[in-house]
Amino acid sequence: MVRVEAECTANGAACPACGVWSNRVHGSYLRFPADVPSAGRSVVLQLRVRRFACGNSGCTHRTFVEHLPGLTRRHGQDRAASGDAGRGRSRPGGPCRRPAG
């Protein structure tokens, strides 16, 4: 298996609700878009996405997640489309979590 770790290097993102640009990072988390085979080997993409705070006080979204077209879907379960949602890698503490200690 090959694991690829990636993250966006843009200095911010536009709020999907109001369009205001923000570079105030509220946090980040890992996403695992569907596995794809390459040269007969399983390839897992580990993508770190950031959550930004919207600077528009009148906006309906206080925070929002950066969207990476072609890699992520809004409001989507990354592995659900590939039938791989049961692995648990996309949820903290899932069955593939490394044991403590």
Which tens digit of pLDDT belongs to each residue from 13-36? 999 999 999 999 999 999 888 767
Q: Which two tokens stand for residue 98?
A: 């490394």
Helix (H) or strand (E) holding 5: strand 2-7
Mean pLDDT of the chain: 76
Q: At residue 86, does pLDDT exceed 80?
A: no
pLDDT value, residue 40: 80
pLDDT value, residue 19: 95
Domain residue limits, the chain:
2-62
The whole-model pTM stands at 0.65
Q: Check if the beta carbon of residue 64 is closer than 8 Å to that of residue 52.
A: yes
